[in-house]
Amino acid sequence: MQKDQKQFWTAASKMLAVVTVTLVVALGLTPSASAASTQKVLYSFTGGSDGNQPRQTMVFDQAGNLYGTTSEGGAYGYGTVFELTPNSDGSWTEHVLHSFTGGSDGDFPSWGGLAFDTANNLYGATVLGGKYDEGTIFELSPNSDGTWTESVLHQFTGKIDGGGPDTTPIFDALGNLYGTTVHGGADGCGTAFKMAPGSNNQWTYQVIQQGGPPACAPWVGLIRDSAGSFYGTTRDGGYWCRQGSNCGNVFQLTPTSDGKWTHKLIHRFTGGKAGADPASNDLVFDGQGNLYGAVWGGAYANGFVYKLAPSAGGKGVTYQVLYRFRGLEDGGNPSGGMIFDAAGSLYGPTWSGGAYGYGVVFKLTPNQDGSWTESVIHNFNGSDGANPARSLISDPTGNLYGITTAGGAFGGGTVYEITP
């Protein structure tokens, strides 16, 4: 896969943008009223040394600063890690913490995200670069003078350890780091892995699951439930899979007392109206342990949101489609994970659709009869961003934050804030 993956997503982004604009023109769509909310662009990337095309989920530190990555741009053109700091006048200032060189330090931090440890070090992944050009897991440590130092914790070989870690690192209570790789492993279908910290910042790498048909190409990473099991998604045949074949799945990994892990498929997508390619969307739990995600395809070929609820007695899950996007003013092709508010409503982005064709942020509100109602809380118009992706995050007051991969003042993407 390697650089073909980078070329694929660049081409796919351009293709979807063209298709979206063409659809808007052909149908003569006009802006419609959205649910009351306000949107503010916090930063527009120029595409130069400050970075270009942010794709990953951002993260807050304890002081309220935002951190994220751009897949391209920076001093060498291979992507950046950036910080956004709020100012007293309401503006935000961007600082580049690290520009990837495309060499041993990594290249193309793509669809995963960043995570802090308890010592305020940042961790992330690059899909390419490293000694074998199969990606890296990296750490950024703050220095007393305000600079940050990057350390590469693992260089993927593309062989048994996997390659192309399109993953957001996740930590357990002991400080172990978990993630996934898109390819490599015993069957070339990717891996799930664990990294245990040691002395002198040396980490022990362990593959805890080897992918294999029908569970190929885990993307984005894992989430953890209260019992210590992990959940993730795979692409398998991806969006262009043959209907009825392996079109992606949701899986569970559970640790056993002997240090091994058990793998279980909990839902399989079969393409067409049943959906395909769930792996571009993070999973999320509600307070009752139900699992939510989004997938492309579906009845209108523009994706849908689904729910997986544990069945009585813990045997199997109940599957429910909550909303099918039409690709019109309601949005199309959900492109990132969702987030709950305190009232139990779900928020998320779509890559396309909306009043202007550049994507939306939507809200799904549960009804008493078990159905859900969708409303659009923001339509992107290009100048405020285009093609929003990855998961939203929120601050303590309930404001939402996210990124767009394109648009903005310079066309290099934006970081935005929405007050619902």
Tens of pLDDT, residues 28-63 = 343 444 567 999 999 999 999 999 999 989 999 999
**Highest mean pLDDT: which of 36-40, 226-230, 237-241?**
226-230
Is residue 170 a part of any domain in this protein?
yes
pLDDT of residue 11 exceeding 90, the answer is no
User: What confidence category does residue 382 fall into, taking pLDDT thresholds of 50, 70 and 90?
Assistant: very high
- Average of pLDDT values for 155-183? 96
Collapsed DSSP state (helix, strand, coil) of residue 38: strand
Is residue 114 a part of any domain in this protein?
yes
Place of tokens 């909550």: 322
How many H-runs (helices) and E-runs (strands) does the chain carry?
1, 31
- Nearest 5°: the CA angle 246, 251, 254 is 150
pLDDT for res 5: 52
Tens-digit pLDDT profile for residues 75-90: 999 999 999 999 999 9
Is residue 57 a part of any domain in this protein?
no
Lowest-confidence region among 110-114, 283-287, 324-328:
110-114
* Mean pLDDT over each residue of the chain, to the nearest integer: 91
SS3 content of the chain, % helix, strand, coil (to 5): 10, 45, 45
Is residue 135 a part of any domain in this protein?
yes
Is residue 75 a part of any domain in this protein?
no
CA–CA dist 236, 239 (Å, integer): 9
Neighbours of 27 (CB within 10 A): 12
Is residue 355 a part of any domain in this protein?
no
The model's pTM: 0.91
Collapsed DSSP state (helix, strand, coil) of residue 283: coil
Is residue 330 a part of any domain in this protein?
no
Task: Name the residue range of residue 248's domain.
Answer: 100-277
Kindly list the distances between the CA atom of residue 277 and the CA atoms of 6, 240, 304, in Å, as whole numbers in the listed order.
17, 8, 11
CA–CA dist 126, 113 (Å, integer): 10
pLDDT for res 99: 98
pLDDT for res 308: 97
Give φ, ψ of 254 to 5 degrees.
Answer: -125, 125
User: What confidence category does residue 239 fall into, taking pLDDT thresholds of 50, 70 and 90?
Assistant: confident
CB 314 within 8 A of CB 304: no
Buried b (16+ CB within 10 A) or exposed e, 210-221: bbeebbbbbbbb
- Average of pLDDT values for 351-365? 98
The domain tally of the chain equals: 1
CA 79 and chain centroid, separation:
17
CB 214 within 8 A of CB 268: yes
Identify each DSSP E strand in 311-413 by its residue range. Answer: 317-324, 332-334, 339-340, 346-352, 360-366, 372-379, 386-394, 400-406
pLDDT for res 1: 45
DSSP sequence for 129-171: -TTTTS-EEEEEEE-TTS-EEEEEEEE--SSTT-B---EE-EE
Is residue 188 a part of any domain in this protein?
yes
CA 180 and chain centroid, separation:
13
